[in-house]
Amino acid sequence: MENRIFNSTLRGLTFLFMILLLQACGSKTSAPETTPVPDAIVEIDTKAHSDSKGVGKFTEVKLEAIDPARAELGKAVFTTKCTTCHKLTADKFVGPGLEGITSRRTPEWIMNMITNPELMMKSDPVAKKLFEEILTPMANQNIGDEEARNILEYLRQNDNK
Ligand code: HEC
């Protein structure tokens, strides 16, 4: 007899506990800030202008008038390390043609892509989409910060012709 009362009390308590648990879970999943946006819904046009600064150490690059000496240094690095995959026209080679790149992308995005393409392809939506379209990864060319800045200057010069 006592055992029966004990059992039903226990069942009642278990039931109550389950309800509380369900409520706790329910309130967690319905919080709007934790709802992820599925990738498929965000369509990215890789040819379009993007304001993104990308992912990486370059968060603010200040631009002034194009410095021809810097651009010349950038050209030298570009010619040895980038022309194997990129043209300075709009034509795709292994990678996208880089004509107009400085109006399609921010200086920060370009420098993050040049110095750390692996991180960009993994974490930046535009770089990720480019990789999905081309299916060839951009190789890390061990470009230093100054070199990257010089290449950016060269690309600016190329776009201002
Ligand atoms: C092995 C080939 C390869 C080399 C070498 C290479 N890239 Fe790339 N690059 C790519 C590919 C492929 C992409 C497209 C994105 C991807 O798949 O990772 C790309 C993307 C880019 C982008 C973005 C283009 C866009 O339309 O947004 C820039 C900028 C860029 N590369 C600059 C450079 C520079 C500067 C160098 C030289 C330091 C360089 N790349 C070296 C293959 C290469």
pLDDT digits (tens, 9 = 90+) for 49-84: 999 999 999 999 999 999 999 999 999 999 999 999
Q: Considering the entire predicted model, what is its pTM?
A: 0.80
State the Rg of the chain over Cα.
26
Q: Tell me, yes or no, whether 26 and 82 share the same domain.
A: no
Q: Whose CA is nearest to atom 17 of ligand 1?
A: 131
Q: Which domain holds residue 23?
A: 2-34
Token duo for residue 76? 């030298």
pLDDT tens, position by position, 8-27? 666 766 666 665 555 655 55
Count of domains in the chain?
Answer: 2
- CATH label of the domain that carries residue 77: 1.10.760.10
Q: How far is the C-alpha of 38 from the C-alpha of 106, rounded, in Å?
A: 25
Measured in whole angstroms, the distance separating CA 115 from the mean position of its chain's CA atoms is 13
Q: Tell me, yes or no, whether 47 and 24 share the same domain.
A: no
Q: Tell me, yes or no, whether 86 and 156 share the same domain.
A: yes
**CA proximity to 47, closest of 81, 82, 114, 92:** 92
Question: In the Cβ-directed half-sphere of 138, how many Cα atoms lie within 13 Å?
Answer: 29
pLDDT at position 46:
95
Query: Are 146 and 108 contacting, i.e. CB atoms less than 8 angstroms apart?
Result: no
* Cα–ligand 1 centroid distance for 40 (angstroms): 24
Token duo for residue 41? 């819904």
Q: Report the pocket of ligand 1 as residue ranges, CB < 6 Å.
A: 78, 81-82, 84-86, 94-96, 98, 101, 105, 110, 113-114, 117, 121, 130-131, 134, 136-139, 141, 143, 151
Residue with tokens 């050209």: 75
